[in-house]
Amino acid sequence: MGRVPRGARDSPPAVGLTPGSRRASRARMETPLRNFYGRRHGKALKPNQRRWLEEGLPRLAIPGVSATENPARHPLDPAALFGDGRPLWLEVGFGGGEHMAHQAACYPHVGLIGVEIFLNGVAMALGKIRAAGVGNVRLHAGDVRDLMEVLPPGCIARAFLLYPDPWPKARHHRRRFVTPEHLGPLARIMAPGAEFRVATDIPDYVRQTLEEVPAAGFALLDGPSATAWEDWPGTRYEAKALREGRRPEYLTFRRS
Ligand SMILES: C[S@@+](CC[C@H](N)C(=O)[O-])C[C@H]1O[C@@H](n2cnc3c(N)ncnc32)[C@H](O)[C@@H]1O
């Protein structure tokens, strides 16, 4: 995808939504002035995916994240997300949502916050959430930087970064999540002692993770390891990596 000029307002299309829900969805998905280089939408959604987006997303979407809804960038009240003070876990770029739905089912006392900017992934994840029958997930269908900006300090008890976009070319490494632009805000919203799990199949991503994450205020607890966490269901991207002969590495950090 070509570079989005800095300053361009870029709203993803609300595919197949009714005018009312399209307006609501657009408000929840619109991003402020950010340069984003990945894909926001892919092939046409299936009818049931369109229905999940239309019906499910407004129910699970976190209000007050987009610049349209919250131009002053007031901090959100984390307790209001689930109506109680439960621990909040954040999954960045959940893809098809299989790991997020699995974690939500395994840990019903936790609130899972999933963020994904690729609309087709959000639609897929809504199906997974529905199939798992879990009620402890909230979503931001947009850029994780927008969400991090409005979360108060220390509110996240665990974070997952699973197979982040690899950006293999050296000149694109600064687009990776493991850069100060992303890790600074992540460190700010994570509680002291909170766990940060990273999985990747790209050796150079392991290298950059080991350099940048500790520099942002995290201590390496475990890894890089070829053995996944005990509660690991795998992800779609991991399955693809394994099929193509790449070797996953798992790293665990703790917020200092
Ligand atoms: C390689 S995929 C991996 C997806 C999933 N975690 C898995 O393992 O199957 C990376 C995902 O991160 C999402 N992503 C990248 N940058 C993002 C951002 N700034 N905010 C939200 N999601 C983002 C992409 O849309 C993509 O779905």
Structural domains in the chain, sorted by start: 19-255 (3.40.50.150)
pLDDT averaged over every residue in the chain: 89
Determine the pLDDT at residue 41.
Answer: 81
Cα–Cα distance, 139 to 94 (Å, whole number): 10
Beta carbon of 38 within 6 Å of any ligand 1 atom: yes
**How many A from CA of 41 to the centre of ligand 1?**
12
* 237, 242, 243, 250, best to mutate for ligand 1 pocket (most atoms within 8 Å of CB): 237
Pocket flag, ligand 1, residue 143 (CB < 6 Å): yes
Decide whether any atom of ligand 1 lies within 6 Å of the 164 Cβ: yes
How far apart (Å, rounded) are the C-alpha atoms in residues 52 and 35? Answer: 28
- Which residues form the catalytic set? 165
- Gap between the Cα atoms of 253 and 68, Å rounded: 34
Q: How many CA atoms lie within 13 A of 244 on its CB side?
A: 10
How remote is the CA of residue 137 from the centroid of ligand 1, in Å?
A: 17
Ligand 1 contact, 165 CB (< 6 A) = yes
pLDDT (tens digit, 9 = 90+) per residue, 17-44? Answer: 334 444 444 444 555 567 877 778 878 8
**What is the reported pTM?**
0.89
